[in-house]
Amino acid sequence: MTPLRLLPLLPLLLLLPACGGSEEDAAAGFDRARLAVFGELPEFIEHPEYGRPSEAMIRLGEKLYRDPRLSADDSISCNSCHDLDRAGVDGKPFSEGVGGQLGGRNAPTVFHAAGHVAQFWDGRAADVEEQAKGPILNPVEMAMESPEAVMAKLGGIPGYREAFAEAFPDDPEPFTYDNLGRAIGAFERGLVVRSAFDEFLAGDDDALTPQQKEGLDLFLSTGCASCHNGPYVGGGSFRKLGEVEPWPGLTDNGRMEATGNEADRYFFKVPSLRLITRTGPYLHDGSIADLREMIRKMARHQLGVELSDDQVDSIAVFLGSLG
């Protein structure tokens, strides 16, 4: 028989199991107000000035994206380093360009890149249209001599002039290097992949497993979303690598190399975490291959937080819901 003096405490005692923070508790419900930091993933990432491109422009962009003849020795295409069958990366710390030369930074995924604040790790290109024109002329990557040389080469390939004319019907001179960038960018703006996380954001509580929900809770409470937020779970800002604790062995000056501003030293674009479980190795230099090590080090150096093995595992499992 329950003593009368304990009766007023029964409601509180019944609530105690719900305060443990276990996976079962996370599955019971999630405060959806906390999800406002993310936002809805668009179906297509439209250019703020040009709007949605025509299908002809997108087709031309994909053809250019996959064509190794945009490189000096016909060996390297955009897809070589940003392989669409491998989540938009090549899986290497540094990509190989013409003649086996190695680039100086890790090639990030092209998926969702069109929605980022800027392009490249240092943000030196404003959008994917501008970014697309860079590697073609980079002597380490695709090594074409000049925009004129690129267009002269394409002009000798049957079908390209007609494809440019169809893609840019209102342009008095459609066959230009700038339009090449626009076409590739138009194709890349459609590289959007929905995931279980998007279904969860849309209201399906069963889209995430209990452990994924626990990982999401930790992701938010630890402070990961202070940088990795918005529809792309990142990509919207530049942050200093080693914000709380200096990053060991850091020699790349980051955004300072693009701006010349000392205040930008060691700042890099915050990467999107969409497809993150499939796009290693990680960081601007591809120096970390293991996702769990990446989570642990970012928590320590960016947030000043030491995570337990179980916490790291839960966050990693949550990140798997991002595609």
Q: What is the CATH number of the domain that holds 137?
A: 1.10.760.10
Model confidence over 47-106: pLDDT tens digits? 999 999 999 999 999 999 999 999 999 999 999 999 999 999 999 999 999 999 999 999
**Residue 94 sits in the same domain as residue 172:** yes
141 tagged catalytic = yes
* CB-count exposure of residue 96 (10 Å: 0-12, 13-18, 19+): middle
Q: Is the dihedral of CA 202, 204, 205, 208 positive or negative?
A: negative
Q: Are residues 279 and 164 in the same domain?
A: no
pLDDT-derived band at 29, boundaries 50, 70, 90: low
Q: What is the mean predicted confidence (pLDDT) over 165-193?
A: 99
Q: Are 92 and 104 in contact (CB under 8 A)?
A: no
The model's pTM is: 0.90
Domain boundary pick from 128, 158, 188? 188
pLDDT in tens, 100-129: 999 999 999 999 999 999 999 999 999 999
198 and 314 co-located in one domain: yes
Encoded tokens for 70 = 């945009």
In angstroms, what is the C-alpha Rg of the chain? 23
pLDDT for the residue 30:
81
Helix ranges, 29-146 (H):
55-65, 78-81, 128-137
Q: Is 187 helix (H, G, I), strand (E, B) or coil?
A: helix
Residues 32, 115 share a domain:
no
Mean pLDDT of the chain: 93
Q: How many structural domains does the chain have?
A: 2
Same domain, 202 and 262: yes
Which domain range does residue 129 map to?
55-188
Which residue in the list 62, 129, 141, 188 is annotated as catalytic?
141
